[in-house]
Amino acid sequence: MRNLSLIFFILLSPLSSHAQNPADSAVIIQNQQLYTVAKPENLNIKGQIDAARHYKRYKGAATGTLITSLVSPFIGLIPAILCSSTYPKIENLGYPNEELFR
């Protein structure tokens, strides 16, 4: 009987007691933004945003370096160094006005 009353008390105790009022713990934000984004006024920031939107990564070099590195890490350094040391061709850059690039 004692065990039954203990089980009954344990099951019904959460219904009658509250450790915290849900209204107190709720965060209410009215007409406010959760975060603010700075307006891009600098050309450098505008360029970074534009590159993030339009730049397609060169996957061939990364794939070749990955496969070669999986075979042998030391041999994988060769394509990694070659790919990072060469500059892209001007026609592959894909920008519309070359004067804005300089």
23-77 tens-digit pLDDT? 555 555 555 656 666 665 777 888 888 777 777 766 777 888 888 889 988 888 8
Confirm whether pTM is higher than 0.75: no
Q: Which segment of 5-9, 12-16, 59-63, 73-77 scores lowest on mean pLDDT?
A: 12-16
Q: Are 73 and 81 in contact (CB under 8 A)?
A: no
Handedness of CA 70, 73, 79, 85 (dihedral sign): positive
Residue tagged 């060469």 (tokens): 86
Q: How far apart are alpha carbons 4 and 8 in whole angstroms?
A: 6
Q: CA triplet 92, 96, 61: central angle to 5 degrees?
A: 20
